[in-house]
Structures are given as C-alpha cells and as structure tokens.
C-alpha cells in the first residue's frame, strides 16, 4: 500500500503542476489579453514548454525514490536532472523569443525617414537574440554534461589547462569565431542592416537575413545568394540605403547634334511631374559628352524614394524620351550618313579593285584593248583613244563599275 500511495502522490503532484500552468494560460489568454493583447500570444507560444517544465518539476518533487532500488534510483535522478535542464532551457528561450517578437514586428512597419534607424535596431536586436540563445544552449549543454561524473573529471582537467585548451579551441573554431565577430561588427557599426540594398561582386540584392555566420541576399530575380558574414568585412561592397533610401537615377541617350536640348529638357520635366514615382526632389538634363563618332550624349538625372522606384522611373523616362525624339525630332536619331565627298583609306583599295577587274571587249584599260594592244601591235607603246602617254590608267567610263561610297557615322 505504501508504494501504491507513493505513486498516487506522484500522479497528483504532476496533475497539480499541470493544472496550475493551465490556469495561468487561461488567465493570460482570457481576461489579461483584453488589457494586454500580447498576453494571449505569450500564453499560446509558451504553453508547451511550460507544461513540460511543470511535469518535470512535479515529477522531481514527488518521485518516490525509496521504492526504487539503488541502481534505478541513481538513473532516475540523473534523467530527471537532465530533463529539468532541458525544460528550463526550452521555456527560457521561448519566453525570450515571445517577448522580443512584438518590438521586432513594430520595427518592420516603420516607414519614411525613420526606417533606416528602425532597420538598424532590428538587426542589432536579432543578432543579440541569437547570441543570447546560443549562449543559453551552450550553458545548458554544459550543465547537462557536467551531471556525468566522467565528464566532470574531464572538465576539471580542462579548467586546469585553460590556456592550452582555449588556444586549441580558438584555432579549431577560427572561421566560426571570425564570422561571429564579423556579424557583431556589421550590426553595431551600422555598415549593414536588414532590407539594405547592396551590390557586391556585380550582383544587386536586398539583405533578407543576417545571422552570425552568413548573410542572405535576395536578388532582383528572386534568387538567394548566400555569403559568409566575413565577406562583408573583408571585401568592398555598395550599400545604397546606408544613410537614406532616396537615390538618383540616370538615363543616357546618344543623339545627333541637331537634337533640341532645351525642348527635350522641358519635355523631361513635364513627364516627371506626371509620374508618381518622382519624389519632386531633383532632376536635370545635360549634354555630358561628345562621342568620337559624332553623337552627343545626353544624361537625365532624377530622384526617387527608393531603389525600386528609381529603377522603374528610369525605365519610364527612357521610354518616354525615346518615343518623343522618334516622333518629334526624327532628324536627331543616331544613324549612318552618306558622305560621298569624304576620302577614306578604303578609296585606294577601290582603285586597286578597278585595276584588277577583267576588261570588256573593246574597252581601253592602261593603253591596251581587250583584244590586244591599242596601237594595233606597235612596239613603241603609243596610246590609243582614251589612253595616257604616261602609262597611267584613264578615268573609268560612265558605264564602268560604280565607285564604292564611304559610310560614316554621323
């Protein structure tokens, strides 16, 4: 009867612990959630580890060790000690994540000029939360291992030679520790934040995830590029949103000299005023360069609220300017022009080709006819009609091959 009564007491203690936790959960999810909306969320997320913790505590408190033999008693005590460490760690981690999730969610909803500071705070909070979670797990694993007598003896020896052990562990975990320190450096130096727009190794992407070991970039085509954290501390990269989300976009056009720049500038301003992507901050249209091929480079600058808007605004203005020039100033379009009066190195080659072509019957080329000598076989080298006394080729007749005209880029 005493053994049965002991097991009944154990069951009652476990049930009482679970009922107490259930009562607290109902209180948080019911009355308190009306005053504090986050209380219900905390109760829902922490229910499972709280029940596990209550069951372990109740079992440890009311366990009838006296009814167990010596070997079973030691094993049960050891198992309950490890279970208590695991349940406590689980509950602490869940409470920490539950309490930090609401401020992180609020930081994600901040827009405008305060968005940069909000992303900085969110990045730092996430990294600190991950570091705290890693430390808690490491301490819990260490505490669980030290419940074993053999591991405890090894731990005493390691503590006695802490310098050598620390050196060995530091060398073995150098990449991991390097990434950990690099992540802290990025977060607290404000060099990189979540949702930052960066360009590295020729790739444009948005920082989607920043952990203690890697950074995930979401590229423009929805691919994910994963870099080690140390990449952003050892390699240069562009951060388009470090101080502000606003950017300047540029559009370049290569047009003919006849383009009316003032009219095109007025047209650009009219198109920008009607475009909702323009933030009314800056704009300009300038002739920035004259190309060697005879074209003029016009560059239009315009500002937008963020990188995505800047890209779309650039495309809109480029399409508009191209259509406007094509419809109203077709003479300013870049094209090839014919310049028959210009000499070029190709003219000599054209003459050589004319010399080498096969003469027609009766045609005089270089003082000879197609059928023989133009002088009827005289050896004095006399010239016939159309020939030259100096032996040079006569000008081509009107029915000869047309002369190749030279093409020149306007």
Q: What is the domain-level CATH number for residue 293? A: 3.30.70.100
Per-residue model confidence (pLDDT) at position 393: 39
Which of 320, 337, 354 terminates a domain? The answer is: 337
pTM of the complete model beyond 0.85: no
Are 229 and 155 in a shared domain?
A: yes
Inside any domain, residue 39: yes
Per-residue model confidence (pLDDT) at position 359: 46
How many distinct structural domains can be found in the chain? 3
Per-residue model confidence (pLDDT) at position 387: 42
pLDDT averaged per 10 residues in sequence order, the chain, 410 residues: 71 84 80 72 83 85 73 80 90 88 78 70 82 86 80 56 50 61 73 84 86 85 88 84 77 90 92 90 90 87 85 92 91 70 47 44 41 41 41 39 38
Are 223 and 259 in a shared domain?
A: no
Are 251 and 234 in a shared domain?
A: no
Inside any domain, residue 397: no
Inside any domain, residue 103: yes
DSSP 8-state assignment for residue 66: G
What separation in angstroms does the CA of 231 have from each of 172, 183, 220? 20, 10, 20
Are 12 and 104 in a shared domain?
A: yes
What separation in angstroms does the CA of 64 have from each of 87, 147, 204? 21, 21, 65
Are 38 and 26 in a shared domain?
A: yes
Per-residue model confidence (pLDDT) at position 382: 42
Are 237 and 252 in a shared domain?
A: no
Inside any domain, residue 120: no
Inside any domain, residue 391: no
CATH for 183: 2.30.30.60
Are 236 and 261 in a shared domain?
A: no
Are 46 and 91 in a shared domain?
A: yes
Smallest Cα–Cα separation from 215: which of 138, 150, 123, 145?
123
Per-residue model confidence (pLDDT) at position 313: 92
Q: Which domain holds residue 273?
A: 247-337
Are 206 and 256 in a shared domain?
A: no
First-last CA distance in the chain: 110
Strand locations in 229-377 (E): 238-239, 247-255, 278-290, 296-304, 336-338, 368-369, 372-373
Inside any domain, residue 287: yes
Per-residue model confidence (pLDDT) at position 171: 54
Are 8 and 96 in a shared domain?
A: yes
SS3 297: strand
CB of 195 closer than 8 Å to CB of 207: yes
Are 263 and 187 in a shared domain?
A: no
Which of 292, 315, 337 terminates a domain? The answer is: 337
Per-residue model confidence (pLDDT) at position 201: 87
Per-residue model confidence (pLDDT) at position 316: 93
Inside any domain, residue 301: yes
Are 50 and 7 in a shared domain?
A: yes
Which of 337, 372, 401 terminates a domain? The answer is: 337
Burial class of residue 185 in the structure, from the number of CB atoms within 10 Å of its CB (0-12 exposed, 13-18 middle, 19+ buried): middle
Inside any domain, residue 131: no
Burial 144-174 (b: 16+ CB within 10 A, else e): beeeeeeeeeeeeeeeeeeeeeeeeeeeeee
């Amino acid at each position: 009867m005493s053994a049965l009564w002991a097991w009944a007491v154990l069951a009652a203690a476990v049930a009482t612990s679970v009922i107490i936790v259930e009562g607290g959960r109902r209180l948080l999810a019911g009355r308190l959630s009306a005053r504090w909306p986050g209380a219900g969320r905390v109760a829902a997320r922490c229910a499972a580890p709280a029940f596990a913790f209550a069951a372990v505590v109740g079992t440890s408190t009311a366990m009838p060790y006296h009814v167990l033999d010596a070997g079973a008693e030691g094993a049960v005590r050891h198992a309950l000690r490890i279970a208590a460490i695991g349940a406590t760690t689980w509950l602490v981690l869940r409470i920490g994540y539950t309490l930090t999730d609401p401020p992180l969610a609020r930081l994600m909803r901040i827009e405008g000029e305060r968005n940069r500071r909000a992303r900085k705070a969110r990045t730092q909070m996430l990294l600190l939360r991950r570091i705290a979670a890693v430390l808690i797990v490491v301490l819990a694993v260490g505490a669980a291992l030290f419940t074993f007598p053999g591991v405890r003896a090894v731990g005493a020896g390691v503590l006695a030679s802490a310098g050598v052990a620390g050196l060995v562990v530091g060398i073995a975990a150098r990449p991991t520790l390097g990434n950990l320190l690099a992540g802290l450096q990025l977060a607290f130096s404000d060099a990189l934040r979540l949702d930052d727009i960066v360009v590295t190794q020729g790739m444009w992407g948005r920082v989607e995830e920043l952990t203690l070991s890697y950074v995930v970039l979401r590229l423009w085509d929805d691919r994910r590029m994963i870099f080690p954290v140390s990449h952003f501390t050892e390699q240069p990269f562009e951060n388009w949103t470090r101080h502000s989300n606003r950017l300047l976009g540029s559009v370049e056009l290569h047009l003919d000299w006849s383009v009316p720049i003032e009219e095109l500038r007025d047209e650009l301003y009219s198109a920008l005023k009607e475009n909702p992507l323009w933030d009314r901050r800056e704009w300009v249209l300038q002739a920035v360069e004259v190309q060697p091929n005879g074209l003029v480079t016009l560059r239009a600058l315009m500002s937008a609220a963020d990188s995505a808007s800047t890209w779309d605004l650039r495309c809109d203005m480029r399409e508009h300017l191209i259509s406007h020039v094509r419809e109203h100033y077709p003479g300013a379009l870049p094209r090839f022009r014919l310049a028959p009066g210009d000499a070029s190195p190709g003219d000599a080659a054209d003459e050589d080709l004319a010399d080498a072509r096969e003469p027609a019957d009766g045609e005089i080329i270089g003082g000879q006819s197609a059928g023989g000598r133009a002088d009827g076989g005289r050896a004095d080298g006399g010239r016939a009609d159309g020939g030259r006394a100096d032996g040079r080729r006569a000008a081509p007749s009107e029915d000869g091959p047309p002369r190749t005209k030279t093409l020149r880029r306007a």
